[in-house]
Amino acid sequence: MNTANRGSRNQQVGRAGELFVAAELNKRGAIATLYLTSTPRVDVVATDPGQHKSVSIQVKTKGPKSKVWQANIEKLCFESENAGKSDILILVDLGDDERGPTYYVCPLRQFAAQHMEKHNKYLAAHAGKRPRNPRSPHTSITMDEVSQWQGRWDLLQVLPTRQASDT
pLDDT along the chain (167 residues), means of 10: 65 92 94 80 90 92 92 90 91 90 95 92 87 88 95 90 59
pTM for this one?
Answer: 0.88
pLDDT computed for residue 31 by the predictor: 93
pLDDT computed for residue 88 by the predictor: 95
Cα dihedral 37, 39, 44, 49 in deg (nearest 10): -100
pLDDT computed for residue 30 by the predictor: 93
| 113-to-61, 80, 84, 110, 141 alpha-carbon distances in Å | 20, 5, 13, 5, 13
**Where along the chain do its domains lie?**
3-165
CATH of domain 3-165: 3.40.1350.10
